[in-house]
A and B are shown apart, each in its own frame.
Chain A
């Protein structure tokens, strides 16, 4: 195989890769159009979204897009502190009581929510682009 043929083959392969990438990649417009306003939680697509409740033994994943509001309530049978990792928000929960969280999702990724002292996981916040 000559040098030119080789380079040609590589060029074709690169072109195929680039074109496939450009075609497959969802455009920003699509992102906008599929972006529902407001809160998205746990896949429950109700009209008036209920604020999800996280407690030990009943964990869940809260899914939002970046820039949206994250809202949820943490309940605990014991006095503890609820910790949202990454965003590093720490709030006290009274025994048998609850505490509400409400913040803007500014970092992408999956972040854990935990009862800090018991070390019990309450769920995750999934922030997609």
Chain B
């Protein structure tokens, strides 16, 4: 999101002298420094070492496919998943949804002084990721659409005396495609649309998406739609599967690390979903770099001259193509691994293999998000202290914190670099572990299992190196 309000305004004035500097705008006034060359080299080397050691030492029998789980001690698990807690969380979620829309529509038009952009892009979009990974499916508890959907359906059931028509059957070919499409829409607002961080745009987008979600829930049932169609439920649930916490039969309990992902239901559209997740973060990283910024004026000029678009739309089209291109590259790489793995034999179809291994991309997606955005969350997230006291940007000071400044010294560049490389390497380790475990579970012949993994591993090294390379690129 830290991109191109500037590029856009330069384009409008027709000067197009944005050459090397269309970056780091919008909400974030600060960008990470590129990781130094030696650390890039070390990170890349570690990824290779880890990969080969992994191939050699990982277990020969599957260990993560069985769903071990035990409830939290002392009834805490039941309490956390109880009805009153659910209602309180749901009310908080609905209140925040209302605040986001209200502040977006009625508050100041300045994106940094309004509650809505920072809440959506930093607290909701980035903050929920570590919460999900650490504590499980937190978003499910606070999901305002779920709360409203459940309240409405329970009222309707009571009012109709219990004979509501059953929801439509959710077609298998839909799979997770609606979620992938909506997530792409979100990425396009964030990264492509010129005023994607304007409070008005965001409030309207939230209203439209809420309406779509209610329609989806009305047609297919609340839980079914949240499980497959609602983008954010699906997105945070994927990350929550990395968490040791899991709710079963109304009780929160603990499970084996990494054992949540192998149980991901194999549904269509999941590869597309992961490609959108990884591709959009890659593009956000890439589009702030000098290589991209050097090329955009020319591409954008081309669209102005040949298609006759306005400078703004030409630039948006350029960014849209960049985003789609990044997603297609990610999807293409994964399919390459799948086709390679199919080539080693075993009698599986490419679609089958794609579905069997796609869960192993989740830690890679997490590593991308963590490495690219954790300073944004840590630093820009502090902006929330001031914004909760003055959500509309009208000078009020509800909690007395409206003057709180962001401490940009909270984390230095060196610590940032180590964390970033750490995230990328850790994501790689988790991904290759998951893929390995699936391979030994899937193939009867251990030799085939290992040979299928050469392909998977090569592609994961590509993803990981791409992440490191993006982190090492300068913005100007």
Contacts and interface: CB of A to CB of B under 8 A. Distances in A.
B86 interface: no
Contacts of B30: 85-86, 107, 109-112
Interface in B1-33: 5-6, 9-10, 15, 17-18, 20-25, 29-33
B33 A9 contact: no
B410 to A, nearest CB: 9
Contact of A57 (B17, B56, B476): B17
B412 A118 contact: no
Contacts of B45: 20
A119 B33 contact: no
A10 B10 contact: no
Interface string A3-39: 0001001100100110011001110000000000000
A129 B49 contact: no
A120 B406 CA distance: 23
B329 to A, nearest CB: 26
Contact of B50 (A13, A21, A106): A13
Nearest to B407: A107
Contacts of A98: none
Contacts of A21: 42
B6 A109 contact: no
Interface in A85-129: 85-88, 106-112, 114, 118-121, 123-124, 126-129
Interface string B401-423: 00001101100111010000000
A123 B31 contact: no
A1 interface: yes
B476 A124 contact: yes
A61 B5 CA distance: 19
A118 B5 CA distance: 11
B475 to A, nearest CB: 6
Contacts of A119: 5-6, 9
A112 B25 contact: yes
A59 B49 contact: no
Interface of A: 1, 6, 9-10, 13, 16-17, 20-21, 24-26, 57, 59, 61, 66, 85-88, 106-112, 114, 118-121, 123-124, 126-129
Contacts of A24: 38-39, 41-42
Given A20-B45, A123-B21, A129 B476 contact: no
Contact of B29 (A6, A10, A106, A111): A111
Interface in B116-137: none
Interface string B44-70: 011001100100110000000000000
Nearest first, the 4 closest Cβ-Cβ pairs linking A and B are: A85-B29, A108-B413, A107-B408, A6-B57
Interface string B378-420: 0000000000000000000000000001101100111010000
B408 A109 contact: yes
Q: Which of A85, A110, A129 has the most CB of B within 10 A?
A: A110
A109 B9 contact: no
23 contacts: A6-B56, A9-B53, A17-B42, A20-B42, A20-B46, A24-B39, A25-B39, A26-B36, A59-B21, A66-B412, A85-B29, A86-B29, A86-B30, A86-B408, A109-B31, A110-B24, A112-B29, A119-B6, A120-B9, A121-B6, A121-B18, A126-B476, A129-B413
Contacts of A85: 24, 29-30
A24 B57 CA distance: 27
B108 to A, nearest CB: 15
Contacts of A61: 476
A124 B416 CA distance: 19
B38 A110 contact: no
A87 B406 CA distance: 9
Given A13-B53, A17-B46, A119-B6, A109 B17 contact: no
Contacts of B17: 57
A24 B409 CA distance: 26
Contacts of A17: 42, 46, 49
Contacts of A127: 413
Nearest to A106: B409
Contacts of A112: 23-25, 29-31
B33 A108 contact: yes
B382 to A, nearest CB: 12
A88 B57 CA distance: 52
A124 B46 contact: no
Contacts of A10: 53, 57
Interface in B289-331: none
Contact of A114 (B6, B36, B409, B413): B6
Nearest to A7: B57
Contacts of A123: 21
A128 B413 contact: yes
A128 B24 CA distance: 17
Given A88-B29, A129-B412, 12 more contacts: A20-B46, A57-B17, A59-B21, A66-B412, A107-B409, A108-B33, A108-B414, A109-B413, A110-B30, A114-B6, A120-B9, A124-B21
B56 A1 contact: yes
B39 A120 contact: no
B5 to A, nearest CB: 6
B21 A110 contact: no
A124 B24 contact: yes
Interface in B264-306: none
A112 B31 CA distance: 8
A44 to B, nearest CB: 15
